[in-house]
Amino acid sequence: SPPPTPPMTPVRKGIRAINERFRKGTPSDNPTGVGLFMHQWDGQEVTGKPWQMCIENCMCQGQFIPGRVSTMIVYAGLSNRPDRTQIPMPFGARGGILLHPSHVKLDCLYGIDAATYQLKNPARPGCSETFCNPNNFMDQNGNAGCGFSGAPATGWAPTDLKGLLEAHALYGEQGGGAGFHSGYNEVIVNSKHHNEHLPHAVEAFFYIQGQSPVTGDLGYSIVIDVVEAHKAFLAEYQLTEDDVPLLLLDPGNWQTPFYPAR
């Protein structure tokens, strides 16, 4: 008779909690209830320590800008729209980090990729000078206007998180899967606050199933190896894989998209 099948490695409690929060995420004014805050590497990280974010004189698109953390909120309910066959995200091959929702300070919100690198007010990097009125954001054609168009776009206030996510669920761009303007939202998280709340601000490191853990398309000779970065993070803060895991992301899995990378 064949040997018994070895028992499956139990999925760590923390990873189960991440997938559960993804499944249960829903538009809310409480960041802990909306799903997952996902940041893909974009060159705005501290060189050699990509879990830290650049604060000032950050190079982007050939110019120096004040730092911000560009994230997207993802949750299973986005799949209720049939065009969203995969979790929408800007980059198909870049890894990144999940931010812990208890330690994010939201600065502003957008229903699209808002070209926020053009918004350089050091008091609120990545955010527009004025915010949308959540009760009057539709345009004359019945489409989502404010917060959903323009480059750069006008943002929504952090206090309107539930309204923005409700609007994004309905009116976000067509797409699903990876690529610019593929249907993701953009949520600007304060980089100084993020750095001040390390290591707790980082929930997990990840890269995308079927892709290299090494991201080399960031320009300016920046290369981030997520496996090495994860090891360095654990060593710096004397943490274990159980505290902050390294995950693989399956963008087509709307139930348990994250699983252990090793």
Q: What is the pLDDT of residue 190?
A: 95
Q: What is the pLDDT of residue 176?
A: 67
Average pLDDT rounded to a whole number, residues 135-152: 83
Q: How confident is the model at residue 2 (pLDDT cuts 50, 70, 90)?
A: low
Does the pLDDT of residue 83 top 60, yes or no?
A: yes
- 196 phi, psi to nearest 5 deg: -70, -15
Does the pLDDT of residue 5 top 80, yes or no?
A: no
Q: Hey, where are the domains in the chain?
A: 13-257
Q: 44 and 58 in contact (C-beta within 8 Å)?
A: yes
- Burial (CB < 10 A; 0-12, 13-18, 19+), residue 67, is buried
Q: What is the pLDDT of residue 151?
A: 85
Q: How confident is the model at residue 110 (pLDDT cuts 50, 70, 90)?
A: very high
Q: What is the pLDDT of residue 231?
A: 98
Nearest CA-CA partner of 44 in 212, 226, 191, 201:
191
Among 2-6, 105-109, 212-216, 253-257, name the one with the lowest average pLDDT. Answer: 2-6
Q: How confident is the model at residue 156 (pLDDT cuts 50, 70, 90)?
A: very high
Q: What is the pLDDT of residue 211?
A: 94
> How crowded is the C-beta side of 36, counted as CA atoms within 13 Å?
33
pLDDT tens digits for range 58-76: 766 666 677 789 999 999 9
